[in-house]
Structure 1
């Protein structure tokens, strides 16, 4: 089965709206759509913008080829099909740089162009940003909990095969060290790691019983003594002893994947030290999330492997972002539905911080109309140009985005990093309503 064109990864109502607007000419009115989150997931203090580069790069692939047009011909009229055949996004996109923190009401993305070219991008934008930002936001909580220790993303087998690649990228953006996913390495340059599973150790069983040492010898022969040996297939104490006997005290690491990880990590560290393997690291995995990682802060763990909780957003699998029309031909428009309101007008944002660097407030204002500065506070504009006339212009580098996440976490008030439930780390202030 071939993958569908990017343009068909969308909802039908975008094209029915387009057809109606083309019929009466309103499809050509100039518009601004904004992508934002009305609120953070329950209990979260901040979010992390992720998916910007994937969205911008997808714009170039958002085309309706002959196969796509054929699939749409049963409900699209000739005029709509002709418009889609020539579709190329030629507008502008502004927004937060990838890796920036966001809060309720932050105008994460602003898309400017005709109604026709902007409305069909709704599902593409939301599917990318809602997924990637949810993963990155969960991953940063884990990075904070790990307090400088390395983390490996290991969740490919717990999500859709394509989502796994995006999740690995988002986790790396947020500060993870590496991923088990090879496609993420090929496409995005995310470092890939991996050694063996319990199946490999079990393979070396015979009628005489298990032979853990034989499995370890085979792995060391193939990968060298810097490899990581999985020591909990049978008995951990025996597994550690076998690992050091085979690989010697220069063994790179041992991995524990089950049991009481804190207790076992202490026991394994003591045993490794008695055996002279002082530099052999301890890797733990097994249904970890940010709370499990935090509970192991005092234990002699060198690296964490995280899977299911990461690729499912650790309880918040979507960022809850929406994509709303806020301006038509320069006139602000806004939705006033109960609990689903939007603020009209094209907007920009800035973040205010103390001279120490700690952020105190986010200010959202109408485009080109920033408020007067506040004494003693440093202003930093957040809205950047990402696309001009359909072409990327912003810095979409993954390394730069990783640096932004790191700087953002360092700028939060101390309680903003708490894992306990609470209000957003800083308030968002709307300077002026458009109407």
Structure 2
């Protein structure tokens, strides 16, 4: 099965630029697609200095829903938004004051990759930060999600009026140009060794990321009908340490990815849904995966969706939700998670009405559980409900759900202005009005 490779290089234009991200693209483009992906054949998509977050989201979503292994090479700089202090990938128009609206939120990456089969996704990063973001990440390292292998480095700010060079990613690309793709842990170590040979001081400053997926491929997991239900292994903590020694840990076998990408949106784009590290003794990376770690049950559901068996996939998700409900009780994170899976499955099956209803229920469940209206998961649920509502073809059903969505939008306005106005305009076209 062919793989997919996504090359992203992003940094602001002008004095806010901390790293010459785009300089790495010619080196990566010189590598054979099959070597970049580690598969016999691969499709390569390049995104250079993107202007809009939605452009990045569209490419990432398409790559995440393509069949086969996915490898993302991400070079750029991270900045915190001032309101919620979440890391964003700075894009061409990003400034410190506009990060929330012009940057690409890191949690969107986790969201788009969360339904991929475990062991099928690799995220390789070379990221630079400003001083504020550097301190934030030193205490809260980046993660790619439970099924994603994450390798790379996060660098502190370069000297004043200097622009950093993505030496880790260039070193990685230079190694791959030989035509040989070693195991990920070995490739990561070789890239670190080469890049730190050019800049020895950075070896004691950078945050080095080397995290294997929480779930392993090929280990049976109890089905949803078992007495004990779903019992996922605890997630290992991401590692942020000085330069590691090589580690010999095999990368999980590739497994099928989710179904094809959903149809284009029919609503406006906004509604889609440190202190420098001291020297330390050598350590072994990546984080070891427990031998008994179970397979993420999404793999069976993914296979059903890929084969067009949407009803079967929905039944499996419902069984897992009932199991979680019996074990953890209403409103538990495990229950809400399976509600979210069901909402996505309804979207893949083309049932916009059902998907909208479930996303509305997810948002309500999270708010009832005490999560704030500006919490990432709450905003995401409402955004997805809004998106699916715009795709409902039956006017009567759209009017019914429109009132519930408008009420919810009044409590959860989301990241972009005008969301509630959009609902009112659409309801007006459907022949009704929403009271102010």
| Larger RCO: 1 or 2 (CA < 8 Å, sep 6+) | 1
Q: Where on the TM-score scale, by shorter chain, does this alignment land: which range? A: under 0.3
Higher alpha-carbon Rg: 1
